[in-house]
Chain A
Amino acid sequence: MAVHAGVGHRLTGGTGRALLCAMSADSQQDFALAFLSILFEGAPFILLGTLISGFIDIYLPAGTMDRFLPKNRNLAVVVAGLLGAVFPVCECAVVPVIRRLVKKGLPVSCALTYMLAAPIVNPITALSTWKAFQGQNAAMMTSSRMLLGFLIAVAVGLIVSRISITAVLKPKLVESLEEPEKASSHAHHHDHDHDHDHDHDHDHHGCCGHDHDHDHDHDHHGCCGHDHDHDHDHGHDHGHHHHAPSGDGKLVAAFRSAMKDFVDVGVYFSIGVSITALFNTGIAPGAEWLDGLAGSTVGAPAALMVLAFVLSLCSTSDAFIAATLDKFSWGAKLAFLTFGPMMDVKLLFLYQTVMRKRFIGALAIGLFLAIGSITIFWQQLVFDAK
């Protein structure tokens, strides 16, 4: 969080002032027109995405997702790649979600597959991509993006399913997975009657309101906000603990969650649109250089993947940026639209809450090379052939 705040302050500080001073009246007018037009185009789709995400956050128990996955490990990874169609979340929202799901026992391979695929393979992203590319190969771009996002995510999931989770997850997270197992075996050793109410083990007073029929080893003092990391799941439905809040309370919480998501995404969208507007109108230094790469078979997708990494756009709105890059090939735009939701500056920080740095580095390089190669091939095979 501190890193994010630092980035924000720097962006609003020296760089911004220098740019403002350097901009002529003509440049200001050009920036404003490009900025507002992309903002007007993308903001409604961000709102749609964050409203759905907010309501899922509050109303959908985490355990719901586990029930959709088959027992077969490989098949489970494939299905995890499609879960975004049912539980659509953007890349900012998906990291906290999978962190919670992994803690609750979802296989890491399935969680990572869902994490990479869900921001792309979901109806909101499909709709926004299709709208953004209207009149510009919309159907082909949308289907190519969904397919490539799905295939890459499943490939990563299958690889991860064959390596140790200690190489993937942060040690602290691995420990939190192991502790319940130890505690679980201990509890089983002493207590086999899980139909009993274990409320007597706790020290609840007043308003917690959770259903603790099967919780073990808690150390509760006070009201809500308790650490339930050591909750046990003995095959019962413990995916998420629920109070019995009023409908109004949940609605307020859902709107708050949606607004928080909107602001989180809106900030990055605002920065991304600003940078895009500067390049789009030729104000930014290096705009000509970027244009020069547009004709390069290898340089174009590489440049747009780097741009996607830096811009850190939300998958629900990045298509509106990509659609304005008219000097670039479809393949390069596809690389932008596939790589960005899987790896960017803000995700780099978010991923560190779940994964080891070495794994994140390997993932970034692997995604860059795989998506770059496939989109170059895709350009020649599909787009050039049209």
Chain B
Amino acid sequence: MKPELRRILFAIAVLVWAAVLLYFHASGRITKYLAPDFRPIAFVGGLGLAVMGLFNLLTARQQADCGHDHSGEEGGHVHDHETSDMHPITALLLMLLPVGFSVAWTKDEYSAAALARKGLYDSPSQASPSFLANAMPPLTREEIEKSHRKTPEGFYEFSLMELFFATGDRELQTAIDGMKVETEGRWIEEKTRNPNGTRKRLYRLFITCCAADSRAIPIILEFGKAPPDFPENEWMKVSGTMRFPMEEGILHPVLMVEQAAPTEPPYEESFMRN
């Protein structure tokens, strides 16, 4: 293949990656993929790729002299700084096909099967302590009422993360047990420990760096009767009394629901490291 054509193909591959990075940033969808401190890096990376791709595309036909000798080159035509490991077409396909398919397939969220793999049905005590050790906000019993806003209906607003981790913190658990709380998250089927069909699950993702390393942070919703019908993954605001019953030898965070209604998703749908 002619060097000019190879440069053009490589520049196209680089520009496609740049376009994908910049598009996801500009559209705001990047918030579903990366933790906040990685987003500007991705943006700068997209700009850098665009500059490199455009520069190489515009100078593809220009003669360039690196100033080196190139021992062992066949016929002096193949330039040592540009010979690639693969045939350019193969390289182009391998760079573009996975990205292309992913952009076409993504819905910016995981399916229930992937969520199950990411801990949706794990009890809090099964969550890796090293994974989320830094995520717990400092919270004592005295601070609970001061640091949590009370709704007009008398429910304290809690993040799902606090309710989830209270299960593993004896002091916090005792303080919260029996409290009237309100929290928000995504609505999903309860597939375990639901013999009477009276339960649902509420979850949010916790992202350390990117969506691939995310973990599900769930609590159980107990209705005491058939739960209302809402679409899977709908954002819900749920209020009720918090309990931590022991089931099959494991403590579980269970919210005895009094009110449940759809709500707008928050700007940051996932919990982030910072």
Give me the interface of A with B, judged by CB distance under 8 Å.
1, 4-5, 8-9, 11-12, 16, 20, 26-41, 43-45, 47-48, 51, 54, 57-58, 92, 96, 100, 103, 131-132, 134-137, 210, 222-229, 231, 240-246, 249-250, 252-260, 262-264, 266-267, 270-271, 273-274, 276-277, 280-282, 320, 323-324, 326-327, 330, 346
Contacts across chains A and B counted by CB atoms under 8 Å: 280
- What 0/1 pattern do residues 84 to 115 of B give for CB contact below 8 A with A? 11110011011101110111111111111110
CB distance from B21 to the nearest CB of A (A): 6
Judging by beta carbons under 8 Å apart, are B21 and A252 in contact? no
Residues of the B chain whose Cβ atoms lie less than 8 Å from the Cβ of A257: 66, 81-82
B149 touches A (CB below 8 Å): no
In the complex formed, the residue of B with least CB distance to A7 is B86
Most chain-A Cβ atoms within 10 A of its Cβ — which of B24, B82, B99? B99
Judging by beta carbons under 8 Å apart, are A8 and B90 in contact? yes
Judging by beta carbons under 8 Å apart, are B67 and A242 in contact? yes
Q: Given the interface contacts A11-B94, A263-B10, does A40 sit within 8 Å of B21 by beta carbon? A: yes
Judging by beta carbons under 8 Å apart, are B63 and A249 in contact? yes
Q: How far is the CA of A385 from the CA of B215 in the complex (A)?
A: 25
Residues of the B chain whose Cβ atoms lie less than 8 Å from the Cβ of A38: 210, 212
Residues of the B chain whose Cβ atoms lie less than 8 Å from the Cβ of A253: 64-67, 81
Judging by beta carbons under 8 Å apart, are B134 and A135 in contact? yes
Q: How far is the CA of A132 from the CA of B35 in the complex (A)?
A: 11
B26 touches A (CB below 8 Å): no
B7 touches A (CB below 8 Å): yes
Interface size of B as a range: 35 or more
Judging by beta carbons under 8 Å apart, are B86 and A4 in contact? yes
Judging by beta carbons under 8 Å apart, are B208 and A134 in contact? yes
B71 touches A (CB below 8 Å): yes
Most chain-B Cβ atoms within 10 A of its Cβ — which of A54, A96, A224? A224
- What 0/1 pattern do residues 59 to 76 of B give for CB contact below 8 A with A? 100111111111111011
Judging by beta carbons under 8 Å apart, are A30 and B113 in contact? yes
Q: How far is the CA of A259 from the CA of B14 in the complex (A)?
A: 8
Judging by beta carbons under 8 Å apart, are B130 and A280 in contact? no
Residue in contact with A241 in the complex, picked from B11, B69, B76, CB distance below 8 Å = B69
Judging by beta carbons under 8 Å apart, are A320 and B117 in contact? no
Name 25 A/B residue pairs within 8 A (Cβ), A-sorted. A4-B86, A8-B91, A9-B90, A12-B94, A29-B111, A31-B105, A39-B102, A40-B33, A40-B34, A40-B42, A43-B49, A54-B81, A58-B67, A224-B76, A228-B71, A231-B69, A249-B67, A250-B67, A255-B56, A257-B66, A262-B14, A263-B91, A264-B85, A270-B95, A326-B131
Residues of the B chain whose Cβ atoms lie less than 8 Å from the Cβ of A326: 128, 131, 213, 215
Judging by beta carbons under 8 Å apart, are A8 and B87 in contact? yes
B13 touches A (CB below 8 Å): yes
Residues of the A chain whose Cβ atoms lie less than 8 Å from the Cβ of B230: none
Q: Given the interface contacts A243-B65, A270-B99, does A259 sit within 8 Å of B56 by beta carbon? A: yes
Judging by beta carbons under 8 Å apart, are A243 and B67 in contact? yes
CB distance from A23 to the nearest CB of B (A): 9
